[in-house]
Structure 1
């Protein structure tokens, strides 16, 4: 059993409903959702001229390997009508694998830990809610320490 931390995000349609459906879908396909952070709202990052995002982090206990978990995440996105047209564009659902146990891997389709995690407050805030003392397997700092040092200026508001 591996504990994986997944970041859910949505900025189109009923954002909270998309996240709720993703939690259900992932619980049925990926493993047991052991914990879920609160919902957080953040202005769009990267491509800024779009609606604000709702984000949430899930701790999922899974027997899947990382590539199979990624497939479950992509299937959850498709269930919510995700269309990949513009990088960092608006979306009904985005599911990223932030951490997969203590594994470090880089393939053409998946890199864990997520390489942008230390620079994205919208991912670190909900992750720190669930696992502030978790140590990043590459950087050897806790999530709380990464959040304290995060250069991202965007406000992350808990709903």
Structure 2
């Protein structure tokens, strides 16, 4: 369980690094007339991602979930691939990437990197991680609960982001 706790702490540290990048990018986009959309769902997103990490630690501990190698190792690999995809998205979007929906009017949509293949590859990474990270240590209740909650949140988030991008591109 100790190595799993270290994994979750490493993911939390990675999230803090993401927030630092997002803060820097938000300042850049606002300096370039960026407009923020979807402020109402942002606190829910933060709570969901924070809750995921907390429950990843609590469920194996409180429910005595074992590490099952046949499940845990593939899920660890999937979580690592999700991280790689997320950072590919971040580096591809450069200063346009953010944890918030902030768009610069008149900016063109990015069509390189993972965006050549998918419109929202970062959300593929998020979905994979929310499923995989808890299952590394058999936290199936956390995986199920947060996958369902994330699906509801992504319905709102993607709709918001698509509308914001459509407005920005047509501006």
Q: Same fold (TM over 0.5)?
A: no
Return the structure number with greater strand share: 1
Normalized against structure 1, the TM-score is what?
0.32
Who wins on radius of gyration, i.e. which is larger?
Answer: 2
| Structure having greater relative contact order (Cα 8 Å, sep ≥ 6) | 2
More helix by share: 2
